Amino acid sequence: MIVLGLTGSIGMGKSTTARMFSEAGVPVHDSDETVHRLYAGKAAPLIEEEFPGTVVDGVVDRAKLAAAILGDTGALKTGALKKVEAIVHPLVREDEKTFLAEQRKAGADLVVLDIPLLFEVKATDRVDKVVVVTAPSGIQRERVLARPGMSEEKFRAILARQMPDEEKRRLADYVIDTGAGMEAAEKAVRSIIEDLRGRPLLS
C-alpha cells in the first residue's frame, strides 16, 4: 500500500484537493477533520484540564481555545500552543494508525494522509511520497483574508509557523497548483493517482 502525504500552506486549496482524491476513490485521512472529532471526544477533557473554560457541553469551543493561545493581536502564545499540540498530536497519530491498519485490511493500494504541517512536524517518514498544494501568494492571501474572523495579524502568525511555500515545493514529489483552476488541479490529481498505481483510472 502506497501512502501519499498531502500538504500545503494555509489558503492553498489543500482541503479541496483532498476531496478530489477522495472523489477519485482514494481513501483519505484528514488530520483537521480528525481534530474536530477529537475536540468532541477524547481530547475535550484533556483540553479542559489544561485550559479551563474552553469546553462547552463536552465539546472544545474553538473560539475560546483560540483566545487562549492567541493574543489580542493574533500573536501566538508559544507555550500554550505547545500544550495543545502535546495533547492533540498523539491522538491524531493514533487515529491515523487505525486508519492505515483498516485500509491495509481492506486491501487498499493507495491512501492519502492529509497533514497540514507534514514538513513542520517532520512526518515525512510516515509517507512514501509527498504532494504539495500551492497557489500564487496573491491568491493565497485573498482566500485566507476572506475567511470569517481572519485578520492580517492572524494570517502573519499562521504563516510564521509554516515552512515557506517555495521550500515545500522543493521537497515535494508532486506539486498541484490550484491557482491554475480547479479543473487543472483535478487533472493533476488523476495524473498522480495513475502514476502511483502505474495504470490509468477507469473513469
Domain boundaries, the chain: 1-27+108-203, 34-97
pLDDT for 27-52, tens place per residue? 999 998 999 999 999 999 999 999 99
Quick one: cell of 110? Answer: 493507495
pLDDT for 78-110, tens place per residue? 678 888 989 999 999 999 999 999 999 999 999
Least trusted range by pLDDT, from 6-20, 75-89, 90-104, 169-183: 75-89
pLDDT of the residue at 70: 73
Q: How many DSSP H helices and E strands does the chain contain?
A: 9, 7
- Is 30:113 a contact under the CB 8 Å cutoff? no
Query: HSE (CB half, 13 Å, CA atoms) of 83?
Result: 15
> CA 75: distance to chain centroid?
21
- Is 35:117 a contact under the CB 8 Å cutoff? no
> CA 23: distance to chain centroid?
17
Q: What is the mean pLDDT of the chain?
A: 91
Higher pLDDT pick, 155 / 170: 170
DSSP string over 3-31: EEEEE--TTSSHHHHHHHHHHTT--EEEH
Is the model's pLDDT at 164 over the cut of 60?
yes
Q: Mapping DSSP to helix (H, G, I), strand (E, B) and coil, where does residue 51 land? A: coil
Residues of the chain with pLDDT > 90: what percent?
74
Residues forming a β-bridge with 114:
6, 30
- CATH class assigned to 1-27+108-203: alpha beta
